[in-house]
Structure 1
């Protein structure tokens, strides 16, 4: 019985996150209303407040869900894993409202009084881990500092998606991400590793 209740609670939380993400994605934080989120979810206020204390709490949960929308689609290691993270992210931003809302909230949070860098820092640490593996596997050029590259890639991806969103609604975000790596890889990867890394855009598609 306890397992059934726990499973039901997890489903309810997921429904709330999805409904909130759709609302935040379409309208932004300020214009998104709790009653509209509840209407989308088909749930009561009591169900929401069991899981989340406020709209801000919901927004933080949506922002923090980003990595869980990306990592299940990955199975590579080192530099290829790092590239794949960005390719899956670029693809999923076009089709996944939860990821899209998380990115929008993380970028726009200053406008509604939040200053939480945790999602950016989390991505940086994930990328540092990939680059540490790349260093261990002798994929990196001498003098390349994993933390510096991770910091750059997080910032570059943030800027690329903002620019692509303004220009064409992210229609060419995958192509822009591939181009970023075409420019970056020769400066950080030894030639043999750079030749092995696949920049095939199809690697970003997840089932």
Structure 2
């Protein structure tokens, strides 16, 4: 292994350590309560190392928020409505233990302080769900009068509200159940009945993700 490769790997490990430390700090203290010193201290690194990789806590917060969708990958191959269900269920389950997702949940209300309006997480998740719904329409899974954009926005807003309430009430422990409850309330107005009956929820999807 060459010296250059060793340096690259060391830099990658340092960067990953800073991202994780920032996520844990944002999740614990919020955006306002987090300082670059706290991030560096938690990572066990110097401020110099911190500033070598990231210019500010704003840059780290932006990275954490915009990378959220990359961390939520359903373990089973699915399309259309089932993919939308899987995506939200896995997000709810992974939020229990993933510090980067937890940080994203904590930072969601502070995005105006560090992120451009046209790339915020609301828009990211809405676009992803809209793609699923448009695919579901092509697969004839949706009722004819469904406004896919409205439903995509509604689900993002509902999931955001659910994660805020469950954080206060149960430290997110009942978030997967709240997400499933949301879908069961919405499906009669959203999906063709024969499709709704075939959708899989609950522990079946979570167990696969955790195994």
Unaligned runs of 5+ in 2: none
The residue that corresponds to 1:62 in the other structure is 64
* 1:31-180 aligned within 5 A: 31-71=33-73, 73=75, 75-110=77-112, 113-114=113-114, 116-117=116-117, 118-180=120-182
Unaligned runs of 5+ in 1: none
Give the CA deviation at 1:143. Answer: 1.5
Q: Is the 8 Å Cα contact of residues 177 and 202 (structure 2) preserved in structure 1? A: no
* 1:181-192 aligned within 5 A: 181-192=183-194
TM-score normalized by the length of structure 2: 0.89
- CA change 1:4–1:149 in 2 (3 A) is farther
Deviations 1:106-139 (A, max 9, x none): 22345xx346442111111111111111111110
Q: How many residues get paired?
A: 205
Q: Is the 8 Å Cα contact of residues 74 and 83 (structure 2) preserved in structure 1? A: no
- CA change 1:84–1:72 in 2 (3 A) is closer
Deviates more, 1:163-172 or 1:68-77: 68-77
TM-score normalized by the length of structure 1: 0.91
Q: Select 1:195's aligned residue among 197, 203, 210.
A: 197
Q: Is the 8 Å Cα contact of residues 62 and 114 (structure 2) preserved in structure 1? A: no
Equivalents in 2 of 1:202, 1:52: separation in Å? 40
Q: Is the 8 Å Cα contact of residues 174 and 201 (structure 1) preserved in structure 2? A: no
The CA RMSD over aligned residues, in Å, is 1.8
- CA change 1:65–1:115 in 2 (3 A) is closer
